[in-house]
Copies of this chain bind each other. A is one copy, B any other.
Amino acid sequence: MIAITAEAMSGALAAGRRNMDIFGVAVIAFLTALGGGTVRDILLGNFPVTWTQHPRYIYMTIAGGLVTIVIARFMRHLHQLFLVLDAIGLVAFTVIGCNVAMNLGYDTVVVVMSGITTGIFGGILRDIMCNRTPQVLRHELYASVSLLVALLYLAMLREGVGENITLLAAFSVGLLIRMAAIRWNVSLPVFSYSQARWE
């Protein structure tokens, strides 16, 4: 719930930066919040796609997008809160994505990829629709947090640790690393390649 709303709001802000109309804001909010799960369901052949069975999610994302238009002027003050919600969303989506692929009996590496896809693909779709290079592939530790959470979650489940403790650990570690990355501006090494295109 929290995850979906936070993602929808981040989508709405990105749409606002492109001067979209309120319909566009709703579409981008929806894609940002539910796009990751949709791509996952399609890749895993998990039909019907989750949100088509939960109309409530659809209303929530659209409402989240439209509310953002109204409260955008105060967002600066909600900055910290927003970042925490966004990080919670990232971890929650990753764990859900892992579970979906596990229940369908996929190989471990596919389970990890399913978690990451659910976690980060909403943001990627948002950036593609807003015509900019996906930020999650360039910035800070974001996608990497999703990877770490997925690995930790699976390792603990495999060791037979209880579901609750595993979830608690995944959320604590995920939030901690994400917050630390933002606080101290940590990021992965960047690969810069500027040679003229010869291929």
Report A's interface with B, CB cutoff 8 A: 10, 12-13, 15-25, 27-28, 38, 42-45, 47-49, 52-53, 55, 58-59, 69, 72, 75-76, 79, 82-83, 86, 106-110, 113, 124, 128-134, 136-139, 143-144, 147, 187-195, 198-199
In the complex, the answer to whether A133 meets B18 with C-beta atoms within 8 Å is: yes
Given the complex of chains A and B, what is the CA–CA distance between A121 and B147 in angstroms?
Answer: 26
Number of copies: 3
In the complex, the answer to whether A72 meets B15 with C-beta atoms within 8 Å is: no
- Residues in B neighbouring A129, C-beta threshold 8 A: 124, 128, 133-134, 137
A-B contacts besides A19-B191, A75-B195, 13 pairs, CB < 8 Å: A13-B193, A15-B137, A19-B190, A21-B139, A24-B138, A28-B137, A43-B49, A45-B49, A55-B109, A59-B109, A69-B191, A83-B199, A124-B129
In the complex, the answer to whether A107 meets B52 with C-beta atoms within 8 Å is: yes
Interface centre among A21, A49, A55 (most CB of B within 10 A): A21
Minimum CB–CB distance for A145 against chain B, Å: 10
**CB<8 Å pairs between A and B, sample of 29:** A10-B199, A16-B191, A16-B194, A18-B138, A21-B137, A21-B187, A21-B188, A21-B190, A22-B188, A22-B189, A22-B190, A23-B137, A23-B144, A23-B188, A24-B136, A24-B137, A27-B137, A43-B52, A44-B49, A45-B48, A52-B107, A53-B107, A69-B191, A72-B193, A76-B198, A79-B198, A82-B199, A83-B199, A129-B133
Contact of A21 among B12, B16, B19, B191 (CB under 8 A): B191
CB-based nearest B residue for A194: B17
- Shortest 4 CB-CB contacts between residues of A and residues of B: A16-B193, A24-B137, A45-B47, A21-B188
